[in-house]
DNA sequence: GCTTGACCTGAAGCA
DNA sequence: ACGGCCAGGTCAAGG
């Protein structure tokens, strides 16, 4: 089985951090679906063994192309993040297919990991071409018959997802990766069900905008406590503060804080 | 601009 | 078992 170098990379942490939903445990590794490929990954020390795709695909998907040493150095410049960093230094920002990422995060509103995973898998199973026995690629945008999404149980997100399937041009979506930050963000927010949070998720986790910083309820709490004496401030100010502090590593800083607070790590104290 | 409530469903966690 | 000052938000309306 081929393998690639991944020093200090934590596959389990990265996959369970809520960036990407098309994975499941598979033996002593994971099975992932992205961009028409079924990838089987297994950590082996400082390497990742892989089957089903190219090394370039795996490296890109897992965020292993970035200069992680430089990123960690930037993160350590903030003492409070430095305090929790040892536990989360293996986190990477993934780069998945933007269309799948977009639909996934529109499904994520007021939902949870397990349910989002079920929704995304359900859409793939219902409308996507089979890749292997029981494993389907995610379907591209296309006009779906009225009511076709009903069995997926998306609830009030259904009309948003239907709108995305009707309106999105994947080529234009990909092309946003080359646009300036504000322009890409505004273009995404034109889409149904896409507000600031979902827009920055798509930018961070699929379009390569390292300065993107999705502000959800958890990051809102962290940001308020770290920088605004626990006062209410607009989400935009929190995201801007992440960008001012961490620059193009804001997305990684955000993702580490997100995971840390969800793990119950106290904010602004040394880990015990 | 900022605040508020509605929106489908499923199931964590606690009687 | 049962069901809520829930849940990783967005949208449209209102003061």
What pLDDT, on a 0 to 100 scale, did the predictor assign at position A160?
97
- For the four alpha carbons of A177, A92, A242 and A111, in that order, the dihedral sign comes to positive
Chain A window 115-174, residues with Cβ within 7 A of nucleic strand B: 115, 118, 153-157, 159
A3-65 and A98-205, same CATH topology: no
pLDDT mean over A155-167:
97
* Model pLDDT for residues A198-256, shown as the tens digit of each residue: 999 999 999 999 999 999 999 999 999 999 999 999 999 999 999 999 999 999 999 99
Strands A3-5, A47-51: pairing is antiparallel
**Per-residue flag: A234 CB under 7 A of strand B:** yes
Query: Would you say A201 and A254 are in contact if contact means Cβ atoms under 8 Å apart?
Result: no
- For the four alpha carbons of A248, A81, A226 and A202, in that order, the dihedral sign comes to positive
What pLDDT, on a 0 to 100 scale, did the predictor assign at position A143?
84
**Per-residue flag: A247 CB under 7 A of strand B:** no
What pLDDT, on a 0 to 100 scale, did the predictor assign at position A15?
97
Tell me how crowded residue A142 is: count the other CB atoms within 10 A of its CB.
8
What pLDDT, on a 0 to 100 scale, did the predictor assign at position A24?
95
| CA separation, residue A24 to residues A114, A117, A249 (Å) | 11, 10, 27
pLDDT-derived band at A8, boundaries 50, 70, 90: very high
Please name the residue whose C-alpha is nearest to the C1' of nucleotide B9.
A155
Which bases of chain C come closer than 7 Å to a protein CB? Answer: 7-11
Radius of gyration of chain A (CA): 18
Closest CA to A98 of A204, A192, A12, A11: A204
Which phi and psi angles does A250 have, rounded to 5°?
A: -60, -40
In this model, does residue A272 exceed pLDDT 50? no
Gap from A236 CA to C11 C1', Å: 18
* Model pLDDT for residues A54-73, shown as the tens digit of each residue: 999 999 999 999 999 999 99
pLDDT-derived band at A5, boundaries 50, 70, 90: very high
**Per-residue flag: A195 CB under 7 A of strand B:** no
What pLDDT, on a 0 to 100 scale, did the predictor assign at position A267?
82
* Model pLDDT for residues A101-132, shown as the tens digit of each residue: 999 999 999 999 999 999 999 999 999 999 99
What pLDDT, on a 0 to 100 scale, did the predictor assign at position A84?
94
**Residues close to nucleic acid strand C (C-beta < 7 A):** A 17-19, 108-113, 156, 160, 189, 191-199, 201, 214, 216-218, 258
Domain boundaries, chain A: 3-65, 67-94+208-272, 98-205
In this model, does residue A270 exceed pLDDT 90? no
Q: Please name the nucleotide lying closest to A234, CA to C1'.
A: B2
**In the CATH scheme, what is the code of domain A98-205?**
1.10.340.30
**Per-residue flag: A232 CB under 7 A of strand B:** yes
pLDDT mean over A85-98:
97
What pLDDT, on a 0 to 100 scale, did the predictor assign at position A146?
86
pLDDT mean over A23-36:
96
- The CATH class that applies to domain A3-65 reads alpha beta
Pull the structure tokens for residue A243: 């960008």
Gap from A74 CA to C4 C1', Å: 42
What pLDDT, on a 0 to 100 scale, did the predictor assign at position A269?
58
What pLDDT, on a 0 to 100 scale, did the predictor assign at position A271?
47
Q: Which residues contact A134 (CB under 8 A, 6 or more apart)?
A: none
pLDDT mean over A65-85:
96
- Whole-model pTM? 0.96
Mean pLDDT of chain A: 95
């Amino acid at each position: 089985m081929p393998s690639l170098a991944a020093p200090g990379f934590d596959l389990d942490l990265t996959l369970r951090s809520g960036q990407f939903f098309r994975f499941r445990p598979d033996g002593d590794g994971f099975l992932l679906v992205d961009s028409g490929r079924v990838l089987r990954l297994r950590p082996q020390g400082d390497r990742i063994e892989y089957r089903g795709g190219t090394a370039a695909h795996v490296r890109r998907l897992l965020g292993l192309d970035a200069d992680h040493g430089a990123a960690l150095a930037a993160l350590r410049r903030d003492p409070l993040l430095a305090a929790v960093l040892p536990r989360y230094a293996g986190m990477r920002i993934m780069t998945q297919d933007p269309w799948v990422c977009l639909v996934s995060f529109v499904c994520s509103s007021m939902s949870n990991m397990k349910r989002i995973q079920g929704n995304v898998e359900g859409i793939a199973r219902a409308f996507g071409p089979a890749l292997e026995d029981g494993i389907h690629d995610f379907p591209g945008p296309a006009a779906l018959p009225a009511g076709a999404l009903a069995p997926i149980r998306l609830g009030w997100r259904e009309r948003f997802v239907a709108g995305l399937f009707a309106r999105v041009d994947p080529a234009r979506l990909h092309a946003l990766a080359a646009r300036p930050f504000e322009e890409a963000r505004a273009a995404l927010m034109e889409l149904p069900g896409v507000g600031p949070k979902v827009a920055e998720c798509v930018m961070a986790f699929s379009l390569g905008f390292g300065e993107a910083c999705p502000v959800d309820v958890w990051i809102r709490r962290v940001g308020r406590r770290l920088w605004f004496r626990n006062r209410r401030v607009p989400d935009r100010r929190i995201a801007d503060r992440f960008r001012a502090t961490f620059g193009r590593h804001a997305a990684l800083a955000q993702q580490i804080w997100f995971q840390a607070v969800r793990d119950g790590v106290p904010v602004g104290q040394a880990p015990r």
